[in-house]
A and B are shown apart, each in its own frame.
Chain A
Amino acid sequence: MQHYIVRRILQLIPVLLGISLITFLLIQLMPSDPAIVVLRVNQVPVTEAAIAAMRERLGLNRPLPIQYFDWLWHVLHLDFGNSYVTGEPVLQEVLHYAPVTLKLTCFTAILILLIALPAGILAALYKNSMFDQMSRMFAYTGTAIPSFWLGFLLIYLFSLKLKLFPVMGSGTLAHFVLPAITLAWGPAAICTRLLRSSMLDSLSQNYVLYARARGVFERMVIGQHVFKNALLPVVTFFGLSFAHLLSGAVIVENVFALPGVGRFMVKAILSRDYPVIQCFVCLSAFLFVSVNLIVDLVYGYLDPRIRLGGVNESAH
Chain B
Amino acid sequence: MKNLFRALLAVAVAALIVLPSCAQPQSETQTSKEIIFSWSEDIGPLNPHLYNPSQMFAQDLVYESLVNYGRGGEILPGLAEQWEVSSDGKLMTFQLRQGVQFSDGTPFNAAAAKANLEQVLDNRDEHEWLGLIQEMDRVEAEGESTLKIYLKNAYYPALQELTLIRPVRFLSPKAFPDSGTTAEGIKAPIGTGPWVLADYSKDSLAVFKRNENYWGNPPEAEQVTVRIIPDGETRALAFENGEIDLIYGSGLISLDAFKRLQDSGEYEAEVSPPLNTRAIALNSSRGATQDLQVRQAIQHAFNKSAVIQAVFYNTEPQADTYFSNEVPYADIGLQPYAYDVDRANSLLDEAGWQRQGQGTRQKDGQPLTVELSFNATNNADKAVAEALQADLRVVGIDLRLLGEEEQSWLDRQTSGEFHLIFNDTWGPPYEPQAMMSSMRAPAHADYEAQSGLPMKAEIDRKIGEVLVSTDETTRRQLYEEVLTTLHEQAVYLPISYSTNIAVFHKNLSGFEFMPQANQVPLSKLDKA
The answer to whether A233 has its CB under 8 Å from any CB of chain B is no
Contact A227 B8 (CB under 8 A): no
Are the CB atoms of A259 and B234 closer together than 8 Å? no
**Residue contact A152 to B126, C-beta cutoff 8 Å:** no
* CB-nearest residue of chain A to B45: A86
A164 touches B20 (CB 8 A): yes
In contact, B202 and A259 (Cβ under 8 angstroms):
yes
Closest residue of chain B to A97 (Cβ to Cβ) is B203
Name B1-59 residues within 8 Å CB distance of A. 1-2, 4-5, 8, 11-12, 15, 18-20, 22-24, 26, 45, 50-53
Pick from B1, B53, B228, B414: contact of A46, CB below 8 A.
B414
**What separation, in Å, do the CA atoms of A294 and B223 have in the docked complex?**
48
Q: Please tell me if B104 contacts chain A, counting CB pairs below 8 Å.
A: no
- Give the contacting residue for A43; candidates B2, B126, B203, B240; CB below 8 A: B126
Chain A interface extent, by class: 35 or more
Interface size on B, residues (CB 8 A): 53
A168 touches B4 (CB 8 A): no
Picked from A118, A164, A166, A254, the residue with its CB within 8 Å of the CB of B8 is A118
Asked if B128 is at the interface (CB within 8 A of a chain A CB), the reply is: yes
| In-complex Cβ contact of A219 among B2, B129, B411 (8 A) | B2
Q: Which segment, of A20-28, A155-163, A204-212, A303-311, faces chain B?
A: A155-163
Do A223 and B4 touch (CB < 8 A)? Answer: yes
| Nearest residue, chain B, Cβ from A264 | B203
B142 within 8 A of A: no
Instruction: Report A-chain residues with C-beta under 8 Å of the C-beta of B126.
Output: 42-44
Whether A240 is near chain B, meaning CB under 8 Å from some CB there, is: no
| A307 nearest CB across to chain B (Å) | 22
CA gap between A105 and B443 in the complex, in Å: 44
Of residues 143 through 198 on chain A, the ones whose CB sits less than 8 Å from some CB of chain B are 152, 155-156, 159-160, 163-170, 172-174, 177
Q: How far is the CB of A35 from chain B (nearest CB, A)?
A: 14
Cβ-defined contact, B23 with A255, below 8 A: no
Q: Tell whether A256 is near chain B: CB-to-CB under 8 Å.
A: yes
Docked Cα-Cα span, A281 to B19, in Å, equals 34
A129 within 8 A of B: no
Q: Let me know if A243 is at the binding interface, CB within 8 A.
A: no
A164 to B26, CA, bound (A): 10
Q: Indicate whether A46 sits within 8 Å of B443 (C-beta atoms), given known contacts A152-B233, A159-B241.
A: yes
A113 to nearest B CB, angstroms? 8
CB neighbours of B234 from chain A (8 A): 155, 167-168, 254-257
B405–A263 touching, CB < 8 Å: no
Are A44 and B230 also in contact (CB < 8 A) when A118-B8, A223-B2, A263-B203 are?
A: no
Task: Decide: A168 and B23 in contact? CB cutoff 8 A.
Answer: no
| Residues in A neighbouring B238, C-beta threshold 8 A | 167-168, 257
| B458 touches A (CB below 8 Å) | no
Q: Are A255 and B231 in contact (CB under 8 A)?
A: yes
Interface pair A45/B20, CB less than 8 Å apart: no
When each residue 229-266 of chain B gets 1 if its CB lies under 8 Å from chain A and 0 otherwise, what string results? 11101100110110100000000000000000000000
Contact with A along B168-204 (1 / 0, CB 8 A): 0000000000000000110000000000000001111
Q: A155 and B237: CB pair below 8 A? A: yes
- The residues of B that contact A96 with a CB separation of less than 8 Å are 202
- Report if B386 contacts A (CB, 8 A): no
Is the CB–CB distance between B231 and A41 below 8 Å? no
Q: A152-B233, A222-B1 are in contact. Are A259 and B203 (CB under 8 A)?
A: yes
Report the separation of the CA atoms of residues A55 and B227 in the bound assembly, to the nearest whole angstrom: 37
- B407 contacts the other chain (CB 8 A): yes
Determine whether the beta carbon of B406 is less than 8 Å from that of A270: yes
The distance in angstroms between the C-alpha atoms of A42 and B243, with both chains bound, is 35
Q: Which partner residue on chain B sits nearest A40 by CB separation? A: B410
Q: For A270, what are the chain B residues with a Cβ–Cβ distance below 8 Å?
A: 405-407
Q: Which residues of B contact A45 (CB under 8 A)?
A: 125, 128-129, 441, 443
Which residues on A sit within 8 Å (CB–CB) of B240? 160
B379 adjacent to chain A (CB < 8 Å): no
The answer to whether B237 touches A166 (Cβ under 8 A) is no
A177–B19 CB distance below 8 A: yes
Q: Is the CB of A152 within 8 A of B407?
A: no
Instruction: State which of A42, A165, A224, A256 has its C-beta within 8 Å of the C-beta of B1.
Output: A224
Residue from the list B8, B125, B205, B443 in contact with A114, Cβ < 8 A: B8
Q: How far apart are the CA atoms of A234 and B406 in the complex, in Å?
A: 40
- CB pair B15–A114 under 8 Å, yes or no, is yes
A-chain residues with CB within 8 Å of residue B5 when the two chains form the complex: 118
Contact of A172 among B24, B202, B441 (CB under 8 A): B24
User: How far, in Å, is B265 (CB) from chain A's closest CB?
Assistant: 17
Per-residue CB contact flags for chain A residues 29-44 toward chain B (1 = under 8 Å, else 0) read 0011000010011111
Known: A45-B443, A174-B23, A259-B203. A254 touches B231 (CB 8 A): yes
Cα of A259 to Cα of B43 in the assembled complex, Å: 13
Beta-carbon contact of A257 and B231 below 8 Å: yes
Question: In angstroms, how far is the closest chain B Cβ from the Cβ of A160?
Answer: 6
B residues neighboring A (CB under 8 Å): 1-2, 4-5, 8, 11-12, 15, 18-20, 22-24, 26, 45, 50-53, 125-129, 184-185, 201-205, 227-231, 233-234, 237-238, 240-241, 243, 405-408, 410-411, 414, 441, 443
27 A-B pairs in the complex with CB atoms less than 8 angstroms apart: A32-B407, A37-B407, A43-B127, A45-B125, A87-B185, A96-B202, A114-B11, A152-B233, A156-B237, A159-B237, A159-B241, A160-B237, A160-B241, A166-B23, A166-B26, A166-B241, A167-B238, A168-B227, A168-B229, A169-B204, A172-B24, A173-B18, A219-B2, A222-B1, A254-B230, A259-B201, A259-B228
Q: Which 5 A-B residue pairings sit nearest by Cβ, starting from the closest?
A: A223-B1, A259-B203, A174-B22, A167-B238, A257-B229
Q: Which residues of A contact B (CB under 8 A)?
A: 31-32, 37, 40-46, 50, 85-87, 96-97, 110, 113-114, 117-118, 152, 155-156, 159-160, 163-170, 172-174, 177, 219-220, 222-224, 227, 254-257, 259, 263-264, 270-272
